[in-house]
A = this chain, B = another copy of it.
Amino acid sequence: MNNFIGRRQTRTRIKEALAAEGARDRITVRGWARTVRRGKEVAFIALNDGSCFASLQVVLSPELEHYEAAVRCGTGACLEVEGALVASPAAGQRWEVHARQVRLLGSSDADYPLQKKRHSFDFLRSIAHLRPRANAFGAVFRVRSALSFAIHNFFRERGFLYVHTPIITANDCEGAGEMFRVTTLDASAPPHSEGNIDWSQDFFGDRTGLTVSGQLQGELFASAFSDVYTFGPTFRAENSNTSRHAAEFWMIEPEMAFADLAEDCALAEDFLRYLVTFALQECGEDLVFFNERIEKGLLDKLEALAAAEFQTMSYSEAVQRLEKAGRSFEFPVAWGADLQSEHERYLTEEVVGGPLFVTDYPTDIKAFYMRQNDDGKTVAAMDLLVPRVGEIIGGSQREERLDVLQGKMTACGIDPQHLWWYLDSRRWGSCPHAGFGLGFERLLMYVTGMENIRDVIPFPRTPGNARF
Contacts and interface: CB of A to CB of B under 8 A. Distances in A.
Interface in A160-214: 161-170, 178, 180-185, 187-188, 190, 196-197, 203-206, 208, 210
Contact of A166 (B156, B248, B463): B248
A464 B206 CA distance: 8
Given A30-B226, A149-B156, A397 B2 contact: yes
A228 to B, nearest CB: 8
A463 B428 contact: no
A348 interface: no
A355 interface: no
Task: State the oligomeric state as a number of copies.
Answer: 2
A105 interface: yes
Contacts of A92: none
A262 B424 contact: no
Nearest to A183: B181
A458 interface: yes
A427 B108 CA distance: 7
Interface stretch (A217-225, A318-326, A403-411, A445-453): A217-225
B217 A164 contact: no
Interface string A428-456: 11111000000000000000000000000
A284 interface: no
A257 B260 CA distance: 48
Interface string A13-53: 10100000000000000111100000000000000011100
A1 B395 CA distance: 13
Given A3-B260, A78-B431, A232-B233, A248 B132 contact: no
Interface stretch (A117-125, A136-144, A288-296): A136-144
B237 A203 contact: yes
A232 B432 CA distance: 31
Interface string A326-340: 000000000000000
A78 B148 contact: no
A360 interface: yes
Contact of A458 (B144, B163, B258): B163
B78 A225 contact: no
A261 B3 CA distance: 8
Interface string A235-260: 10101000000011010000011111
A224 B32 contact: yes
A76 interface: yes
Contact of A233 (B49, B164, B458): B164
A205 B310 CA distance: 44
Nearest to A250: B164
Contacts of A247: 168, 203-204
Contact of A224 (B132, B203, B205): B132
Interface of A: 1-6, 8, 11, 13, 15, 30-33, 49-51, 74, 76-78, 80, 105-109, 112, 114, 128-130, 132-133, 138, 141-142, 144-145, 148-149, 152, 156, 159, 161-170, 178, 180-185, 187-188, 190, 196-197, 203-206, 208, 210, 217, 220-221, 223-226, 232-233, 235, 237, 239, 247-248, 250, 256-263, 266, 312, 314, 359-360, 371, 373-374, 380, 397, 400, 421-422, 424-432, 457-459, 461, 463-468
CB-based closest 8 A-B pairs: A50-B225, A106-B430, A132-B224, A204-B466, A129-B421, A78-B429, A145-B162, A205-B464
29 contacts: A1-B360, A5-B260, A8-B259, A15-B159, A30-B257, A76-B428, A78-B223, A80-B258, A106-B429, A108-B428, A128-B421, A129-B220, A129-B425, A144-B164, A164-B458, A166-B466, A167-B233, A168-B466, A170-B467, A178-B184, A180-B183, A183-B187, A188-B190, A188-B196, A188-B197, A203-B239, A204-B464, A205-B463, A217-B458
